[in-house]
Amino acid sequence: MSKPTATIRTGILALASAGLLAASSLATHAQDYPESSDPIRITLHDWTGQHVTSRIMGSVLEEMGYNVEYIQADYLAQFAGLESGDLHVAMEIWETTGKDALDASLATGDTVDLGETGMEAIEEWWYPLYVKEDCPGLPNWEALNDCAELFATAQTSPKGRYLGGPVTWGGYDDERVEALGLDFEVVHAGTDAALFAEVQSAYQRQQPILAWIYTPHWAPIQFEGEWVEFPPYEDACYEDPSWGINPDMAYDCGKPRGWIKAVGWAGGEEKWPAAYEAIRNFQITNEEMGDLIGKIDLDGMPTEAAVQEWMQSNEEAWRAWVPQN
Amino acid sequence: MALSPAWAGWLAVLGILSILWYLAGEYRWLTQYPQDWIIPLRYWISDFMRWLVREASFGLFTFRELTRAFAWLLDIPLQACLHLLAHGIVLPLGEGGLRLPPLPWIGVLSAMVYLAWRVGDRGLVILVGCSFGYLVLFGQWQSAMVTLSSILVAVPLGVVAGAGLGILAYRHRSVEKAITPILDLMQTVPVFAYLVPVLFLFGFGPVSAMIATIIYAMPPMVRVTLLALKTAPVEITEFGRMAGCTSRQLMWKILLPASRHSLMVGVNQVIMLSLNMVIIASMIGAGGLGHDVLTALRRLAIGSGLEAGLAITLLAISLDRLSKATAEYQAKPARLRGRRGPLASVSIGVGMIAILAASYLVGTAMPSLAVFPQQFAVSTGPFWDELVRLVNIHLYDYLDAFKSTLLIYVLIPIKRALMEAPWPGVALLVGFAGWRLGGPRLAVVVTLLVLFIAITGNWRNAMISVYLCGISVIIATAIGIPVGILGASSERMHRLVQAIVDTLQTLPSFVYLIPVVMLFQVGEFSAIIAIVLYALAPAIRYTDHGLRGVSPEIIEAARMSGCRPWQTLAKVRLPLAMPAIMLGVNQTIMMALSMLVITALVGTNDLGQEVYIALTRADIGHGIVAGVCVAFIAIVADRLIGAWADRRKRLLGLT
C-alpha cells in the first residue's frame, strides 16, 4: 500500500529537484552571487524608518542568497566600525545631519558611497495646526516674533521657547535665531524620544509649541501641523554672510532639504559586488516610508511583519534592484 | 572672645572665596578658565587610542588582534546561552538542517520555582513563580531570555575576575595600592565614556556590551573580597597555620569558605549592577529587554516601556533573592538541610536538569508549553498611556506652576551663583576642607582633582553638574532620611520601604524619564526629578539600616533615663546612626553623579552631556576626559564625607 505512494512522492521530489537544479544552474550562469557566505552586517540605529530601510534591504539580500546580520550601532559612532570592516552597510545617512561625518569617512578611503535611497529628508521648525488660530501670520517666519510670547515659558519669558533637536544632530539653530533676530531661546532635547515626548504632551493639551521635527517620521503623520517657512535655503546662505536679509551673518535662511544615502565598507565592493549593486539600486519614496512607519509606530505592528508585508506586495519593485547580468 | 585657629582659617578661606567671587565680574578668567591654558589631554588620549587600535603590536600579533581574540572567546559562552534559552539552534543534519528549539518557558519557569522551593521559603517560591509568570504572561519571555543569557555569562565572569583581583590585592600590598584608585574610577566614570573605546577594541555587538557590563559591575566584588579576607577572624587564620596549611590551602580551604557569607554580598551587587546596565548595553547591540524598553519609549508607548522595564526589575529581584537564599542554604550545617545531607546541593542541580529535560519533551508534544502563544499575552500598556494622558491634560497647570515657582525662586539663582564661582577660590575652599577633615595628604589630593577639572577646560560644565547633583542630593536626602526613619519604625514598614527601594534601584530610569519629560518639559527640572528618583534609594536604605543597627542596650538605657520616643530618636539613635546615614548620603551623591549621563538624554548642558556628545561622535579623548571629571567630583565628595564620618565615629567612640 505504502510503497506506490512513496515512489510517487520520490518521483515528484526528483522531478522538483531536477527542475530546481536546472533553474539554479541557469541562475548561476546569469548571476554569480552570493560571492561569499560571510554575513553582511547591516547597522540599525535608533529610529524606526532606518530599521525599515535596513530590514527591506536585508530581506532582499537574503532573497539573493546572502547571509545578513543586523547590528545595533550609533548613527555617528558607526563610521569607525564601517571603516574597520566590523560593520558593512549603513542604509541611512542624512545629508541634513550626517554629511560632515560621511565626507570625513569617505575621505579615509575605507568606506564607499552606496548612493541615494530615493527619500528626501525634510527638517524644519514645526508647529501644530491649532497654533495658527492664535498666530495667524504663520507659516511665514516673520510672524514668529509677534507670537514669541505665545511660546514663552517661565524660564525663557519674555522670549519664546523653541525646542531643538539633539546637539549632536547639528542644524545651526542657535545661529539662525541670531541671524534672523528671532526673540526665541533654543532648548536642545537630548534625544529624539525626549523631543517627541514633549511635542506629544503639548499636542494632547492643545498648547502652543514650536519644535524641530523631521520626516520621514511618525510625528508629522500623527500630528497635524506645518513647517515654518523661512527664506529658502541656498548654499550661499550658509557660506556667505552677505547673502540674505542679514548682511553680517550666515544662516539667515531655512534648513536644507537633502538626500538620504547608504554607505558601506570599502572592502565589501570586492567581497559582495552584486549585493553592493543591489544596495545602490535601492529606491523608496517618502510616502511609502511614511506609510510603513505609521503602521509600525502608530498601529504597533512589529517591524519585521510590516517589512514582510511590503516585500510581498512590492515584489516587482525590489526584484528590479537585483542585478541581472 | 578669642577665635580658635580652625575657625579663623575657615573665615579666611571664605573671605578669599567671596573676594574672588566679587572680582569674577572684572576678571573673566576666574570663572571661565582661559582657552589658552587648557591642556589638550583629550587629543592626546584620542591619538593614543588611534595608535592602539591601528598600529600597536606585540610583534607576532597586534593589540587589536589580541582584544578581538578575547572577544571571540567571550562570545562562545554567550552564544551557547542564547541558543539554549532564546533562539534554539539549527544543527547541520539532514536536509536544511535540524532545528532544535530553545528551552520551553514551562521548563525554565518550573526549574526556577523548584530551585526556590528547595533553597528558600514559601515567600521566595511565590516571588519567583510570579516574576517568571509575569514574563510569560506579558509576552516578555523571548527578550527576557536574551537578557538572562548575557547576565548568566557576565555575572560569573564578573564574580570570578573580581574575586581573583581581590585575592591578589590581599596577597600583595602593592596590587592593593595600585588597584584602589582604578576601582574608584571604574565605579565613578560614566559608562558612556568607555563605551566607545570598548567598541573600537572589541568590535560592535553583544560581546562589547557584555564587556562594558563586566567593567561596570565588577568593582564591588573586588572590594568585598578584599574586605572579607582582611576581616576574617584571626582565630581561623591561626588555626589554619597550626594545622600546617600552606598559604594556598589557607586561602582556598579556610579563608574563602569562612568568608562565603560576605562574598555573597559582592555577588548580589554584581547581579544588581549587571541588570542596571541592561538599557545602556542595548544601545550598543545587546538586544533583549533593554532594547524593548528603548524602542517602546521611542514611539512613546509608555505602557509597553513600563512593562518591559518591570520585567527587568522582577528579573533582578528574583535573581538577587535566589542567589541570597542559595548562599544561606549552602552555609547551613548539613544536618539542617533536610534528609539528604551533603548531597542536597547536587540533588538540586540534578532536579533542575531533569525538569528542563522533561519539559523539552513536553514542549515538543505541546507547542504552546514551549512558546507561549502570542494571542494569550496580556498587556496593560493602553492603561498607562491613558493615565499619563489624563494627568497631562488635567494636572499640567498645577505641575507647571509648581515647577515655575521652584525654578524662578530657587533653582535659577543657585545656578547663577555656581556659574559665577571662581575656580581658584573653589579649589582653595575644597583644599582647606580636606586639610581640616583629613590632614595635608587629603588636602593635596582634593585640590589637585579640582584643578584637573579646570585645566582640562571643563569648569563650567562641571559647575552645572555640581548644581544638578547638589540640588538633587539635597532633595533626595530630605525625602530619603525621613522615609528611612519611618522604615526603621516597624518590621512591616521596613518591608514596604524595602520593596520601594528595590524597585527604584532596578527599574530602568529611562522608563520614568519620558513621562517626566511629558509633564515637566525638556530641561534641568526634568533632569533633577529623574536624578532624585534614582538617588533616593541609598538615602532610605542606609538610614533604615543605621537606625536598626543602634545597639538595643543603648536604647534601653535611654528609655531608663526617661527619654520619650522622639527624644530617643533625636538625641540617641540619630546621632549614633549618623555615620551610617552619612555613608548613605555619600552613596546618594555617587548615584546622582552616575545619573548625569542618563539625564543627558533629556537635554542638559553639563558634563554628562559632554560625555554623551563624545559617545555619539566617537570622540574617545573627549569622552574619557569629561568622564574622569565626573569621577573626580565624585571622589572629592567621597573623600571629604568619608573623612568627616571617620572623625565623627572616633568622637562617638564607635571604632
Task: With beta carbons under 8 A apart, name residues in chain A contacting B602.
Answer: 189-191, 194
Q: Does the pLDDT of residue B60 top 80, yes or no?
A: no
Residue ranges making up the domain that contains A148:
121-239
Q: Please report the pLDDT score of residue B365 as a whole number.
A: 77
pLDDT digit string (tens) for B203-222?
Answer: 877 888 899 999 988 988 99
Cis peptide before B181 (omega within 30 of 0): no
Do A211 and A126 lie in a common domain? Answer: yes
Query: Is residue B473 within 8 Å of residue B592, measured between CB atoms?
Result: yes
Query: Does residue A43 fall inside a structural domain?
Result: yes
Do A209 and A99 have their domain in common? no
The pLDDT assigned to A126 comes to 93
Name the domain boundary from A182, A208, A239.
Answer: A239
Picking from A72, A80, A167, the nearest residue to B284 by CB comes out as A72
| pLDDT band, residue B473 (cuts 50/70/90) | very high
Q: Which of A77, A192, A198 sits opposite B615 (nearest CB)?
A: A77
- A297 and A216, same domain (yes or no): no
Is the pLDDT assigned to residue A20 strictly greater than 50?
no
Task: Evaluate if residue A67 carries a pLDDT over 50.
Answer: yes
Sign of the CA dihedral running A77, A83, A88, A89 = positive
Tell me, yes or no, whether A115 lies in a domain: yes
- Give the nearest chain B residue to A69 (CA atoms): B205
Report the distance separating Cα B296 and Cα B310, nearest Å.
13
Chain A residue at shortest CA distance from B600: A190
Are B601 and A77 a contacting pair at CB < 8 A? Answer: no
Closest-CA distance, A81 to chain B, in angstroms, reads: 7
Distance from CA of A244 to the nearest CA of B (A): 31
Return the C-alpha cell found at B130.
510570579
The residue among B150, B207, B517 with the most chain A CBs within 10 A of its CB, best to mutate, is B517
pLDDT value for B95: 64
A144 and A227 in a single domain? The answer is yes
- Decide if A245 is inside a domain: no
CB-based contact B609 A72, cutoff 8 Å: no
Same-domain status, A138 and A110: no
Question: By CA distance, what is B302's nearest residue in A?
Answer: A197
A281 and A293 both lie in a single domain? yes
Q: Which of B286, B517, B617 sits opposite A198 (nearest CB)?
A: B517
Position A313 in a domain: yes
Phi, psi of A162 (to 5 degrees): -115, 125
Partner-chain contact B407 A71, CB within 8 Å: no
Please tell me the distance from the alpha carbon of residue A199 to that of residue B299, in angstroms, as a whole number.
Answer: 12
Number of A–B residue contacts, CB under 8 Å = 135
pLDDT value at residue B51: 80
User: Considering chain A, what percentage of its residues have pLDDT values greater than 90?
Assistant: 29
Q: Which of A204, A239, A274 is the last residue of a domain?
A: A239
Residue to substitute from A37, A48, A71, A74, interface B, most B β-carbons within 10 A: A74
Are residues A78 and A182 located together in one domain of the fold? no
Q: How confident is the model at residue A163, as a pLDDT? A: 92
Nearest by CB to B523, from A155, A197, A300: name it: A155
Q: Do A125 and A228 fall within a single domain?
A: yes
Q: Which of B389, B521, B616 sits opposite A204 (nearest CB)?
A: B389
In this structure, of A27-36, A273-282, A300-309, B78-87, the range with the lowest mean pLDDT score is: A27-36
User: Which residue out of B282, B403, B521 would a mutagenesis test of the A interface target, given it has the greatest number of A Cβ atoms within 10 Å?
Assistant: B521
Let me know if residue A19 belongs to a domain.
no
Domain co-membership, A279 together with A176: no
Do A148 and A227 belong to one domain?
yes
Region A15-38 average pLDDT: 56
Chain B residues lying within 8 Å of A297, measured CB to CB:
299
Say how many C-beta atoms besides its own lie within 10 A of residue B333's C-beta: 6
Residues of B in contact with A47 (CB under 8 A): 298
Percent of chain B scored above 70 by pLDDT? 96
In a domain, A4, yes or no: no
Shared domain check, A125 and A92:
no
- Please state, rounded to an integer, the average pLDDT across all residues of chain B: 84
Measured between alpha carbons, how far is B473 from B339 in angstroms, rounded to an integer?
Answer: 52
> Which CATH number do you get for residue A213?
3.40.190.100
Does A23 score more than 60 pLDDT?
Answer: no
Domain of residue A314, CATH code: 3.40.190.10
> How many independent structural domains does chain A possess?
2
Mean pLDDT value across residues B349-375: 80
3-state secondary structure of B169: helix
CA distance A307 to chain B (A): 17
Question: Does B90 score more than 80 pLDDT?
Answer: no
Same-domain pairing of A173 and A262: no
Residue A185: φ, ψ to 5° = -110, 135
User: What is the biggest distance separating any 2 CA atoms in chain A, rounded to whole angstroms?
Assistant: 95
Buried/exposed code over A120-153 (b: 16+ C-beta within 10 A; e: otherwise): bbbbbbbbbeebbeebeebbebeebbebbebbbb
Which band of pLDDT confidence, cut at 50, 70 and 90, is reported for residue B147?
Answer: very high
* Mean pLDDT (whole number) for B99-121: 86
Q: What is the mean pLDDT of residues B600-619?
A: 81
Question: Chain A contact for B598, CB < 8 A?
Answer: no
Is A102 within a domain? yes
Percent of chain A with pLDDT over 70: 90
Residue B529, chain A, CB below 8 Å: the answer is no
Segment B153-176 shows an average pLDDT of: 91
Domains and CATH numbers, chain B: 395-655 (1.10.3720.10)
Tell me which chain A residues have a C-beta less than 8 angstroms from the C-beta of B286: 72
In a domain, A324, yes or no: no
Whether residue B618 and residue A76 make contact (CB cut-off 8 A), yes or no, is yes
Residue A261: helix, strand or coil by DSSP? strand
Closest CA in chain B for residue A44 = B285
* Mean pLDDT calculated for residue range A42-57: 90
- Chain A CB contacts of B610 under 8 Å are none
DSSP state letter for B103: P
